[in-house]
Structure formats: C-alpha cells, structure tokens
Amino acid sequence: MDNFSFNDLKGKLVVMPGGTGALGISLATAFAACGAKLAIIGRDKERAENLAAKLKQKYWVDVRGYAVDVTNMEALKEVKMEVFEQLGLVDILVNIVGGNIEGATTNAEKWEEQGLNFAQIKPDALSEVFEKNFKACWNTAQLFSVDMIAKNKGVILNVTSIAALQPLTKVGAYSAAKAALESHTKWLSNYLASENIRVNSLAPGFFLTNQNEFLLKKPDGSFTERGEKIISRTPLKRLGSAEDFQGAALWMCSDLASFLTGSTIVVDGGVSNFGGI
C-alpha cells in the first residue's frame, strides 16, 4: 500500500451517540471533513440538528441530527429505523456518549482529608453513571452491529478514559463504569471478529470540557489545585483540547488500522505514563 489517506472514510455512514458534546463536535467535524455521512445522536434535538446543518453546509456531506436517550432501548430502536430510512446501513459506530456527574464524585482528593463522602454517594448516582457510560454503549453496539454484520464489515470505537486504566482520585464510579466499557470492548472485539468488525477503545486523558470543568477550574477561571496538579504531571504540560484526538480516532476507524482490534489507544499528553520522578 502506498496511498496513505483517510479517503476510505468518504461516503461511509458514521453513527455518533454523544456527538453533540464538547469532544463529540470535534470528532463529528473531523469525520465530516473526510466526507463521511453522519448520524449525530444527542439528548437535545435542536442542538443535534443545528450541528448537523452546520456540518452539512460546510462540508457538503449528508449529516443528520437525532435526539434520544440511548439507554432506552425501545426509543433507540425507533431512531435506528429513522437513521436507516434516511441514511442507510451503518458502517462505523463511534460511542462518544458518556460523562461524569457531581453526585457520584467524592469530595476529597485524599482519604485523610476531612469531608470524605464515599459512604454518602447515592445508589441512583452510581446507576446514572453506569447507564451513561456503559449501558449506553452496550445498547448502541447491540443495535448497530446488526448493520455491520449484514455488510460483513464495520468498526466500533468506544471512547473510555484513562480513569478506566489507572485509579484517579474522586471519580471511583466513573472509573468503574469506563473500566466496564474497556472490558466489554475487548470481549466484543473477539465476538465480532468473525464478522470482520473491529472494536477498539480510545482513552482520553484530561481535556477541559463541560463534564469536568467543576473539578478543574474555579468560578474566576483560574485552575483548581487539581487542575494545576494535572498540568504539572503531564509531560506535554497542558490539558488536552478537543482537536487533540481527532487524528487518532480517524485512524482507528479507517482501513489504515485494518489489523487493529481489541486495542486501547491512550491520548493523554503522557500523563498516565509519567511516574512523577
């Protein structure tokens, strides 16, 4: 092979649950720029449709926005039918749906600190984090892999987190839910390999977005102690920006990564690989 490009993504149908979020918009833009068709799924219809209209106008590709709670299988089935009627069979599923919630987060950096509240985290908060990060991706893979099996080709990319791979303070529930998704990714990669479907995960490090702003920035815009600590321990000495993982995601979904399955690619500025000494 001597023609290295993302041209194989042109005309492919990419379904992107969570595509209306901070990182999702960046990935949706990257796929549209490569000429892929897109079904962007968020929770807010207007937001999804506005993003679709913007990408369509800029890149001249067929992009549509849908709104559904993807943890609700029955509602998701209806959206899948709409996607099929409007755009066809799915080639690539990018699960960038997920996120943390404040109610499932402990309030102390260290166990010695006052106000440790692990015991106060409500079961509902734990369930919500697992639904958002794990069940959401399980559901979409169950439904959309059927299209890929029909084509005998496909790619599933689950966006997890470095929190799934190593313990971080505060985010025990989120870490566990993402670790479950990591495990499921590997299991599914084995299960679907005979159908020529590749399944991988991309684990971002610390990116400054809505979901973690309350942990990393103070109301006056300066960094919290945690934000400062992260930057000081990141070899590339900054937080990630939404554009920082576009290239890795495109590569993982393109035929350039045709022998990649069951793998996790970490995009984190080196933070998970730094011993601190």
Where along the sequence are the contacts to ligand NAD (CB under 6 A)?
17-18, 20-24, 41-43, 69-71, 96-99, 132, 136, 159, 161, 204, 206-207, 209-212
Cβ 159 vs Cβ 181: under 8 Å = no
The residue number whose beta carbon is nearest to ligand NAD equals 21
**Residue 248: Cβ-neighbour burial (10 angstroms; 0-12, 13-18, 19+):** middle
Tell whether the torsion through CA atoms of 94, 77, 58 and 240 is positive or negative. Answer: negative
User: Please, which residue, 99 or 269, has the CB nearer to ligand NAD?
Assistant: 99
The values of phi and psi at residue 234, to 5°, are -100, 115
User: Please, which residue, 63 or 70, has the CB nearer to ligand NAD?
Assistant: 70
Helix, strand and coil percent figures for the chain, each rounded to 5: 50, 15, 35
DSSP helix/strand/coil, 74: helix
Cβ 211 vs Cβ 228: under 8 Å = no
CB of 15 vs ligand NAD, minimal distance in Å? 12
Quote the DSSP letter at residue 207.
B
User: Please, which residue, 39 or 70, has the CB nearer to ligand NAD?
Assistant: 70
Contacts of 150 (CB under 8 A, 6+ apart): 89
CB of 59 vs ligand NAD, minimal distance in Å? 20
User: Please, which residue, 113 or 213, has the CB nearer to ligand NAD?
Assistant: 213
CB of 254 vs ligand NAD, minimal distance in Å? 20
Structure token digits, residue 119: 């015991």
User: Please, which residue, 45 or 151, has the CB nearer to ligand NAD?
Assistant: 45
CB of 106 vs ligand NAD, minimal distance in Å? 17
CB of 230 vs ligand NAD, minimal distance in Å? 10
CB of 139 vs ligand NAD, minimal distance in Å? 9
Distance (Å, rounded) from C-alpha 164 to C-alpha 131? 16
User: Please, which residue, 10 or 237, has the CB nearer to ligand NAD?
Assistant: 237
Closest CA to 105 of 159, 184, 162, 163: 163
